Chain A
Amino acid sequence: MKLDAKIPAGPLEKKWDNHKFSLKLVNPSNRRKYDILVVGSGLAGASAAASLGELGFNVKVFTLHDTPRRAHSIAAQGGINAAKNYPNDGDSVWRLFHDTVKGGDFRAREANVYRLAQISSQIIDHCAAIGVPFGREYSGLLSNRSFGGAQVSRTFYTRGQTGQQLLLGAYSAMMRQVAAGTVTVLPRREMTDVVLKNGQARGITVRNLLTGELEAHTGHAVLLCTGGYANAFYLSTNAASCNVSAAWAAYKRGAGFANPCFTQIHPTCIPRSGEHQSKLTLMSESLRNDGRIWVPKAKGDHRPPNEIPEAERDYFLERRYPAFGNLVPRDIASRAAKTVVDSGFGVGPTGQSVYLDFRDSIKRKGADKIKEEYGNLFDMYYQITDENGYKAPMRIYPAPHYTMGGLWVDYNLMTTIPGLFSLGEANFSDHGANRLGASALMQGLADGFFIAPATVGGYLAAGKFEELSSGDKEFTDSARQVHDRLNRLLAIRGKRTPSEFHRQLGNVMWNDVGMGRSEASLKKALKKIPEIREEFWKDVVISGADKDFNQPLEKAMKIADFMEFSELFVRDALERKESCGGRRGATTRTSRTCRCGNIRARTRRPPCTRSRSPSRTSRWRNGAINKACCRPRENL
């Protein structure tokens, strides 16, 4: 597979402007003749549908939820970055670009990131215009805060519900186009396949989740805005329906998948309480601004935390990273917590957590001030754990949260399949090996509101499209394949439930492929995953029929894809001598190998803006899971 990122020539600052001018335009009266299929209705999908609809294209939006407003973008808490420099603290497009590239361990594509930083300001302008109730100062002007350890205050927010408000903003813009007749929303549809004709993406097969019917939809371009795959770990902060299926279907049809092993493990999540646990809940990392993270100095110290004197506490982040203390980047905080827990210093009933203590900041600032700043998070913690974080330290543990890897896309956000685009978390390009806080919302909306409308239009204007109908062989073949797979699953009638298999896969992924993975653990996982998959296809139990509203079948379909995808994830991790996102091997060894992305580089070395270790993509071959993948590289 030849990778051409199609990065425009010219200086970084001029690339996007020049490129927009060089893209062909579709005549306004011709736009309604083009059908665009948008899969997913989160920030990226809803904003792309809204803006393409505004331009006059004929857009169909597919979501597996009952309404597009449920997409998991809604759960983002912290905020959205923009290089507005309203606080006059030295921010600029260049600084946001620089921070994002550096934060991503120099594994993001610089041209894309620069464009993202340029567009960031327009996103805030547009969201304010469509009624997003951003936090304001008494002057009536927008408030900013510093977030995720940034040295400038460039984060805009709507309390702790920024994702919700931005998603509802994009949703309302999309519903305006529904009223205008340019956008049709098709809820309760799961995409099961991408349909290609003459090498171009020309449609999709979807399963209507209420009736079980397989539907063929034709189009001139397909946009996959289907989010991330952290549920490969079973327990993650993602919603239950988040999956890799759409991206995986594209991959099986030939789309490249870049950096699948780049996963972000978020440090401040509420620890699991037992086997029954279905998901992990994230608490905003702003908690680390005032909370101090510690474990007892003695192994197996089971005294209540408030009875452990100061001298017998190990504030391990402050000890190991005195310059940053508790505000070290997400990956470092997460790994440090896992290290102390693995060494037997963990606390709580499961031993799988560390303390996050507000005692000192309550003394310093007063309980009222802490309540004002973090009250909703303390309430959330109480609701889930029945413990009062004001009186005794909270317990936290890292959890998979975001996936930086995704479908490989070029500068136009097009995958290696012509006409198949990927936006938002589903693609790989902007966050490198580690995403900075408040950057995911920015990327989803930049892709959807501003980039895709230009580049998809350019593709359509320049492209040639053969006539086709949903009755064509390509569509009927795709439907038959999906139908066969569904019915193979239903016919197994084994003994173990889909959730049990998912949990088993997740355990392997978390223990052997998560943080602190080693060559040996990855090889072990590579042996175990095919065994679990084989067992799954022999012994899973699903009831009901395929032509029905069948939740166990929906779940099993997603897990079947995770079973295949996880193996690619492990292979990608194994290929790398360094590891970003999930650290491989001992830290010292990793630090030597990983020239830009190691801890020392991040904290002490002068910043560099040149990538040294190219990004990789992997491509499916011969439809066989165990065959080696080819990994063409792209110099970023």
Chain B
Amino acid sequence: MTNNSKNFSVTVRVWRQSGPKEPGKMVSYKVKDVSPDTSFLEMLDILNDNLLKAGEHPVTFESDCREGICGSCGLVINGDVHGPDEHSTVCQLHMRRFKGGDVITVEPWRVKTFPILKDLAVDRSALDRVMTAGGYISAPVGSAQDANAIPVEKDKAEEAMDAAACIGCGACVIACPNGAAMLFTGAKISQLALLPQGGPERARRALGMVEAMDREGFGNCSNEYECEAVCPKEVKVANIARMNREFLLANLASKR
């Protein structure tokens, strides 16, 4: 099948932590005979099968679709959020980016708002709670008029789609020195503010989601642009600016 002569061995240094309250540490494992066509997560699969056979518990990590869209996976590899490839998720990273003898450091998302559950798996439910605070349009099933009754400028629809492409992986939070979730929240606020359907709830949404973000303990933006640099879907920081405008206008108009 594969051209075995190209295969190589690597050492992975992985964060091991048996539970949320247990102390963790880095542990090194050697993985032999890795094909360059193997994806990074498949390399971890191989490691895990080896560990199981050796009577050790495999490394817990999350992934699901393995095609860069579900947002489940997320690792820091040699200090890079989602690994060395630009605008990509870990599951899309392939071993051809490494060479024989490399020592690869693998860490979980590290931020207070995403507590570690086990090894490389973290709890990102804070993002769901931010969504629950207003990341929607309140149109019940059955209430809609014909979809073409409200035209949407093509440019605006495209811009809304750029923001909507967010996969909720949380990479932006990890890359940010302040642990801010503003790219995530700004993307949702932007998407719905750009569409006329989202108009009536703009102020409520901006206030609700920004407050939820603060409540969860996410930090604030200080224009580092790190989030944009690592976002697998290339969501732009312009969405944070739009969120700030929406929030400011909502506050000015607020009767609270």
A contacts, CB < 8 Å to B: 50-51, 54, 65-72, 74-75, 84, 86, 122, 124-131, 133-142, 158-159, 161, 164-165, 168, 171-173, 175-176, 178-179, 185, 187, 210, 239-241, 273-279, 281-282, 349-350, 380, 383-386, 449-450, 453, 495, 497, 499-500, 541-544, 549, 551-552
Contact = CB atoms under 8 A, between A and B. Distances in A.
A127 B139 CA distance: 9
28 contacts: A70-B64, A75-B70, A126-B144, A128-B144, A131-B191, A131-B195, A138-B154, A140-B152, A140-B154, A141-B151, A159-B161, A165-B161, A175-B131, A175-B136, A176-B132, A179-B132, A210-B117, A273-B35, A275-B1, A276-B2, A276-B38, A276-B42, A276-B46, A282-B67, A383-B88, A384-B92, A549-B121, A551-B58
A497 B137 contact: no
A136 B157 contact: yes
Given A67-B125, A75-B67, A140-B154, 14 more contacts: A65-B70, A70-B72, A72-B70, A75-B69, A128-B147, A128-B197, A164-B165, A165-B161, A175-B132, A276-B43, A278-B66, A380-B67, A384-B94, A549-B19
Contacts of A86: 148
Given A131-B195, A135-B157, A176 B58 contact: no
B145 interface: yes
B222 interface: no
A50 B151 CA distance: 26
Interface of B: 1-3, 19, 35, 37-39, 41-43, 45-46, 48-49, 52-53, 55-58, 60, 62-67, 69-72, 85, 88, 92, 94, 96, 117-118, 121, 123-125, 127-128, 131-148, 150-154, 157-158, 160-161, 164-165, 167-168, 191-192, 195, 197-198
Contact of B65 (A140, A239, A276, A551): A239
Given A66-B62, A276-B46, A175 B141 contact: no
Contacts of B154: 136-138, 140
Closest 8 CB pairs of A and B: A140-B151, A129-B144, A274-B2, A172-B136, A128-B147, A273-B37, A125-B144, A129-B139
Nearest to B93: A383
A179 B198 CA distance: 17
Main secondary structure of the interface of B (DSSP, over half): loop
B55 to A, nearest CB: 7
Contacts of B43: 276
A165 B164 contact: yes
A549 B168 contact: no
A125 B145 contact: yes
Nearest to A131: B137
A74 B69 contact: yes
A542 B131 CA distance: 37
Contact of B124 (A67, A158, A273): A67
B49 A67 contact: no
A303 to B, nearest CB: 18
Contacts of B41: 278
Q: Pick the most buried of B124, B125, B147: most chain A CB atoms within 10 A of its CB.
A: B147
Contacts of A130: 136-137, 139, 197
Given A135-B157, A273-B1, A453 B67 contact: no
Contact of B168 (A69, A72, A273, A383): A69
Contacts of A137: 154
A340 B43 CA distance: 32
A277 B157 contact: no
A606 B232 CA distance: 49
